[in-house]
């Protein structure tokens, strides 16, 4: 995935909400996001990064950041790893539906950066390991979606 050179990122402000659970994974995803945003010319001062305790809190975190008016788009980063209880399903469905609702009812795009895996190894592979870093895709998606939103208001 890449961003067209016709897209101007200079007027874009990014919010990133990161979950502390499975921090080693979410920090790697965050690094992937920031690295890619900068690669496309986004300046540090245009990126606001906020932490929340777990993936379930991503929805509140993103909703409040959206309401603040400080950003044009948000990337919600979390990692849920399947355990022995149904907790995985509740957290995944709550966070996922919450992000869907924010996209449907809010004014700015919220990128779904929730990694849901069966094992820690699968999460490692996707956060800078053998299968790349999904954070790169989240950043590209955010740029494209902010461009989409801005194209309708100009």
To the nearest 10 degrees (0 to 180), the angle between helices 23-39 and 134-151 is 50
Distance of CA 63 to the CA centre of its chain: 13
Residue 105 a catalytic site member: no
When CB distances to ligand DLZ are compared, the closest residue is 54
DSSP-derived 3-state class of residue 125? helix
Task: Report if residue 122 touches ligand DLZ, rule: CB under 6 A.
Answer: no
- How many CB atoms are closer than 10 A to CB 103? 16
Is 80 a residue that touches ligand DLZ (CB under 6 A)? yes
97 binds ligand DLZ (CB under 6 A): no
Contact characters 20-59, ligand DLZ, x per CB under 6 A? -xx------------------------------xxxxx--
74 binds ligand DLZ (CB under 6 A): no
Closer to ligand DLZ by CB, 8 or 89: give it: 89
Catalogue the active-site residues. Answer: 87
Using CB under 6 A, list all residues that contact ligand DLZ: 19, 21-22, 53-57, 78-81, 83, 87, 91
């Amino acid at each position: 995935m890449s961003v067209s050179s016709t897209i101007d990122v200079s007027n874009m402000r990014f919010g990133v909400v990161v979950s502390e659970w499975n921090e080693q994974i979410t920090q790697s995803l965050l690094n992937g996001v920031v690295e890619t945003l900068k690669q496309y010319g986004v300046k540090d001062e245009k990126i606001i990064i906020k932490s929340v305790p777990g993936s379930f809190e991503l929805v509140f975190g993103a909703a409040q950041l959206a309401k603040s008016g400080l950003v044009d788009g948000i990337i919600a980063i979390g990692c849920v790893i399947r355990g022995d209880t149904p907790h995985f399903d509740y957290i995944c469905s709550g966070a996922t539906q919450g992000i869907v609702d924010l996209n449907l009812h809010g004014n700015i795009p919220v990128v779904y950066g929730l990694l849901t895996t069966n094992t820690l190894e699968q999460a490692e592979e996707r956060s800078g390991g053998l299968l790349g870093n999904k954070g790169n895709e989240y950043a590209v998606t955010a740029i494209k979606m902010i461009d989409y939103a801005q194209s309708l208001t100009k």
